[in-house]
Amino acid sequence: MMHNEKIVFFDIDGTLLDHNKQIPSSTRESLKALTEKGVHVAIATGRAPFMFADLREDLGIDTFISFNGQYVKHQEKVVLTNPLSRDEITVLEEEAKRNGHPMVFLDHEAMMSNHDEHPHIMKSMDDLKMHYPGYDPSYYHSRDIYQALLFCESKEENEYRDAYGNLNFIRWHDYSMDVIPPGGSKARGIEAMIDHLGFKRENTYAFGDALNDIEMLKFAGTGIAMGNGYDEVKAVADIVTDPVDQNGIQKGLKKVGLL
């Protein structure tokens, strides 16, 4: 049954969190005020669930879209999963190994690498302020993997793009690319979530700043781009608010009449 409750989806980095990875106090107050008004609050991120468990606990949020839509959960119920094809990542890993390119495999609980100390993994993780992954080369053999990381430089990436048309490669670092299933997006995750909850699309709101937020802002009833966001993101948004560290979330929620 469809009902008129409202739900707001927030990206994490550059949206809920500022550049120092802190939550502005005005954002905290705003999320509390939304909940008190009966508006549902959810997270939509490219991160793996274990990478923002502390944040969910801190903010009391139990509805989320992770891995850019590959793993979607409301309270204790998994609403949608879209894992990588095991056959395809097996073939990809074999080729990457021949080329001396390590990989990291992520499911909803952990990330494991097939190389125990590679400088490209080290540098990429340091830049994310994250620890080196655990070492377990067979991790993906028996688990659903929602995202892999392939470590190579941009001059080496085209051979993978050309050979693996059924995988999406997204470069996020000089040394690393995300590998995700085709067709996955935050928008697809939101669609699955509101179908599950019985919410109307016009009662959905989404805040984001980065290129992986574009589909989400287009899909939501009202898409709000952060002032610190990319121009391409602002171009598709219904509203542009101030930057994250200038009370952008609070101002955006006021602009759309939720506060």
Question: Which 3-state string (H, E, C) describes the chain?
Answer: CCECCCEEEECCECCCECCCCCCCHHHHHHHHHHHHCCCEEEEECCCCHHHCHHHHHHHCCCEEEEHHHCEEEECCEEEEECCCCHHHHHHHHHHHHHCCCCEEEECCCCEEECCCCCHHHHHHHHHCCCCCCEECCCHHHCCCCCEEEEECCHHHCHHHHHHCCCCEEEEEECCEEEEECCCCCHHHHHHHHHHHHCECHHHEEEEECCHHHHHHHHHCCEEEECCCCCHHHHHHCCEECCCHHHCHHHHHHHHCCCC
State the catalytic residue, choosing from 11, 13, 213, 245. 11
Residue range 85-106: average pLDDT? Answer: 97
Residue 11 known to be catalytic: yes
Q: Residue 254: which pLDDT band, with cuts at 50, 70 and 90?
A: very high
Complete domains list, the chain, with CATH: 7-81+184-255 (3.40.50.1000), 86-180 (3.30.1240.10)
Tell me the pLDDT tens digit for each residue of 5-39.
999 999 999 999 998 889 999 999 999 999 999 99
Is residue 1 pLDDT above 80, yes or no?
no
What is the reported pLDDT for 130? 86
Predicted structure pTM score: 0.91
pLDDT of 2 above 80: no
Whether residue 182 is predicted with pLDDT greater than 90 in this model: the reply is no
Mean pLDDT on 123-136:
91
Average pLDDT over residues 80-90: 95
- Average pLDDT of 132-142? 96
Average pLDDT of the segment spanning 135-156: 96
